Structure 1
Amino acid sequence: MRTIAWASVDWIDWGDAPTWGGAVFAAAAAAAAMWTLRSQQEQIAEQRVFIEQQSENLQLERQALLVAAQERRESQARDVFLSSEPSYVYASNNSREPLTSVECSDGGRPAVRAMAVSDRQNLAAQLMAQLLRHGESTVVEDLGAQHIAVFQRPQGAAGPVTVTFTDAAGVRWTRDELGGLEEVQVATS
């Protein structure tokens, strides 16, 4: 009977040792590859979550920018205010820029006369001076900043009053007595 000394390496079949070593190395390499693959999958998953969050943030920023752009676009038009009395409608341009092609309708009927004045003091005198200088018109072609367009209401009109005008950026707007503001879509050919 043969005794095996544990300190001796005679019991190993050295012909199979390189095969076993290769197998161990291949197993280690496969384990490392699996670990690397799993790590990369986790990184990809984290990147997807990050990209999704960034997309949501970008969408919110885009919406905020669109709202800000619309507010800037509407800012001059929001500085136009209407008031009326039985005979006249007043459109006050409280903005820093002039308005053009200012028109008024009362119940769908156009104003009888339109004039631009600097303030409401001595209104009758300003209206008469405008009428004598420029004749009758139903449109205020140029309404300066901090000026008032005065429109004579049609006889018997009692409908909703609206003023339509073009701002300094060339956008056409309609403003009503209640403060409603709407962009007028201009037909292009």
Structure 2
Amino acid sequence: MNQWDEKFKSATYFYGTKPNAFVEQQVNVFGQSKQIACYAEGEGRNAVFLAAKGHDVTAFDYAQEGLQKTAALAKSQDVQVKTELKDLIQDTLEENVYDGAVMIFGHFAKADQSEVLDKIVGSLKAGGIFLMEVYEDAQLRYQTGGPKDIDYLYNESALKNWASQHEILHFACVEVERVEGIGHNGRSKVLQLIVKKRM
């Protein structure tokens, strides 16, 4: 059992059951897109929200416990969400499948970040939209959630450099208030990104 299974095995939803605020604010960017993948989705709060908006959603996570809670949350909201166990570092992703992708607070070592992001964009069809919110390096000072090791946070200039190969619809490094279960609580420094895969 990995650390995320341990974190998610409690009946309590560690990051709550409401969607991330950035996803909620920007959901219209997906328009009528049907197939959306939620990567590093944890306990399913964003996947269930998107399914309730009429999208066909698949939630991917590294923790089986998280996927089980995703299925339970979907059932409680009377929506359908497919779940798939996936290690975004070790496993391949099927390419050119989804119209949209979401990753909220999916944190990996800096050496793996670009490869994971490339895989996610690779899973999109041409013109597909990828939306992400993650903690920036400066989040270490805030102590309100996220990794305690700077190697697992994202650097603003490095992420902007990675994003430049795609059509950038939104890029911001901002201070926000995030109250998401017991896992994220308070003022935070985040990077927000929406890119469109080039045709």
TM-score range, shorter-chain basis? under 0.3
Question: TM-score normalized by structure 1?
Answer: 0.24
Greater fraction strand: 2
TM-score (norm 2): 0.23
In terms of fraction of residues, the more helix-rich structure is 1
Larger Rg, first or second structure (1 or 2) = 1
